[in-house]
């Protein structure tokens, strides 16, 4: 052993103060290598520079004479870089000639690639076994009685921009079901944004059920939106009753207005409150009317709205009540009433209602 190490290094350290083994020493051992990239197993940038310097020197580097890489690298740092290159297999210690020899990166890539694929296969197998292995613990966890959950609360957002952002985040996470009640008319820009978000949600396999008021039948943009959404599996119905705006995502979060102008919204996560809201939606859904959105044209749209106005007038509702019920303006309802008066030959609203209830024939 004394012939292998100079007397100036009694501790037989693998490195020399000048960054490499002395001229009389053998190459150091690099079984573990230095710090590598944990994801790829590749050496860091300075080690790559050292490898390129070895190539520039002809592919060989004496043990005690590493190439200069700059004043910022200490001998200890250069030794660590050497250990990285040897550990990954890009440099091979040649004890006979007392030098490091560069190794083809292609062979290193093949070896590392095989190692990574083998490790990935083992990880996939382990991942497949995890659910079954942890299932007894999961059942025990679910069986533990828990106190009432007081952490779920209602969060209020006070700007339309924040509301839209939070809604977009919730819809992007929706995996099972979205329930939506949308009274009145939605602006085309809002429909365009909702169309993009809902399409992606439906493509992920979630379901969408939405309620609209009859006013949606009077706008081409709303009809086009509804027809497109039904093509992708959504269900959209029309309800001849007043209802409030509501969105329920995966029955975990409900969004309801917290201001009349919809500038404030409440995001509810309490399970009891959500169950109550969903029950109301299901009741309205059962009473709502299915619509063949693709078959609607301008003439059928007008006729459909006019017929709905007539049915409500026949029930004794006033013009204002009809407007509220259908989500229309009183001016729009007045236009439909005018057409019905001409159709029935009625001079007054009272006479029109009487005639539509069967009190006389059409004039």
CA dist list (Å): 269 to 150, 183, 211, 275: 11, 23, 22, 10
Cβ contact 217:291 at 8 Å: yes
Q: Which of 257, 256, 253 is nearest to 169 (CA)?
A: 253
* C-beta of residue 61 within 8 angstroms of C-beta of residue 99: yes
Range name among 157-171, 182-196, 263-277 with the lowest pLDDT average: 182-196
Structure tokens at 325: 């019920």
Judge whether residue 32 has pLDDT over 50.
no
pTM above 0.85, yes or no: no
Contact in structure between 348 and 318 (CB atoms under 8 Å): no
285-336: pLDDT as tens digits = 998 888 888 766 545 555 567 777 777 777 777 878 877 777 677 787 787 7
Q: Which helix (H) or strand (E) covers residue 280, if one does?
A: helix 271-287
| DSSP code per residue over 118-153 | HHHHHHHHHHHHHHHHHHHHHHHHHHS---------
Q: Judge whether 263 and 160 are in contact, CB under 8 Å.
A: yes
Determine the 3-state secondary structure of 101 from DSSP: strand
DSSP bridge pairs for 257: 265
C-alpha count within 13 angstroms, C-beta hemisphere, residue 45: 1
Q: Which residue has the tokens 């490790």?
A: 119
Question: Three-state DSSP class for 98?
Answer: coil
What's the confidence (pLDDT) of residue 149? 56
In order of 210, 219, 227, 244, 293, the CA distances from 224 in angstroms are 15, 9, 5, 23, 8
pLDDT surpassing 50 at residue 4: no
Q: Which residues, 6+ apart, have CB-to-CB distance to 355 below 8 Å?
A: 344, 345, 346, 361, 362
CA–CA dist 301, 17 (Å, integer): 90
Segment 96-138, tens digit of pLDDT: 888 889 888 888 888 888 888 898 999 899 888 888 888 888 8
> Tokens in use for 163?
């509301």
**Over the range 113-137, which residues count as b (16 or more CB within 10 Å of their CB) and which as e?**
eeeeeeeeeeeeeeeeeeeeeeeee
- Under a CB-based contact definition with an 8 Å cutoff, are residues 217 and 155 in contact? no
Q: What is the pLDDT of residues 59-79, one digit of tens each?
A: 888 887 777 776 677 888 888
CB proximity list for 328: less than 8 A, separation 6 or greater: 214, 215, 218, 305, 322
Cα 118 to the chain's mean position, in Å? Answer: 31
Report whether pLDDT(362) > 50: no
- Residue-range domains of the chain with CATH: 1-127 (no CATH), 155-290 (3.30.870.10), 298-359 (1.10.10.10)
Strands (E), 166-303: 177-182, 207-212, 235-238, 246-249, 253-257, 265-268, 289-290
Measured CA to CA, the distance from residue 20 to residue 10 in angstroms comes to: 16
Q: What is the per-residue pLDDT for 179?
A: 96
Sort 153 into a burial class: Cβ within 10 Å, 0-12 / 13-18 / 19+: exposed
- 167-173-176-182 Cα dihedral, nearest 10 degrees: 10
Q: If pLDDT is split at 50, 70 and 90, which confidence band does 360 have? A: low
Dump pLDDT digits (tens) for 158-175.
Answer: 988 899 889 988 998 899
Secondary structure tally for the chain: helices H, strands E = 11, 11
The pair of three-digit structure tokens given for residue 154, joined into one six-digit string? 């209602």
């Amino acid at each position: 052993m004394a012939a292998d190490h100079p007397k100036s290094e009694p501790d037989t350290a693998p490195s020399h103060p000048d960054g490499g083994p002395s001229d009389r020493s053998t190459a150091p051992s690099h079984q573990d290598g230095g710090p590598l990239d944990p994801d790829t197993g590749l050496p860091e940038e300075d080690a790559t520079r050292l490898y390129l310097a070895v190539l520039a020197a002809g592919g060989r580097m004496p043990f005690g004479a590493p190439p200069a890489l700059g004043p910022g690298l200490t001998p200890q740092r250069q030794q660590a870089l050497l250990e990285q290159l040897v550990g990954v297999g890009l440099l091979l210690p040649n004890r006979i000639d007392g030098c490091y020899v560069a190794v083809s990166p292609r062979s290193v890539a093949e070896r590392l690639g095989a190692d990574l694929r083998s490790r990935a296969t083992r990880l996939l197998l382990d991942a497949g076994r995890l659910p079954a292995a942890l299932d007894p613990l999961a059942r025990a966890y679910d069986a533990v009685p828990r106190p009432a959950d007081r952490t779920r609360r209602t969060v209020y957002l006070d700007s339309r921009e924040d509301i839209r952002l939070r809604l977009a985040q919730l819809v992007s996470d929706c995996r099972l079901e979205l329930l939506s009640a949308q009274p009145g008319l939605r602006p085309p820009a809002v429909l365009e944004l909702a169309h993009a978000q809902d399409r992606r949600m439906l493509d992920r396999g979630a379901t969408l059920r939405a309620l609209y008021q009859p006013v949606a039948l009077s706008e081409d943009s709303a009809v086009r939106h509804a027809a497109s959404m039904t093509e992708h599996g959504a269900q959209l119905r029309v309800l001849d009753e007043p209802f409030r705006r509501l969105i329920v995502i995966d029955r975990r979060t409900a969004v309801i207005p917290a201001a009349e102008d919809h500038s404030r919204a409440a995001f509810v996560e309490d399970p009891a409150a959500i169950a109550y809201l969903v029950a109301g939606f299901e009741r309205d859904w059962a009473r709502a009317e299915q619509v063949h959105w693709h078959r609607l044209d301008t003439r059928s749209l007008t006729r459909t709205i006019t017929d709905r106005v007539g049915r409500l007038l026949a029930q004794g509702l006033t013009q204002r009540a009809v407007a509220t019920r259908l989500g229309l303006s009183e001016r729009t309802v007045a236009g439909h009433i005018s057409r019905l008066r001409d159709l029935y030959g009625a001079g007054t609203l009272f006479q029109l209602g009487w005639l539509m209830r069967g009190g006389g024939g059409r004039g």
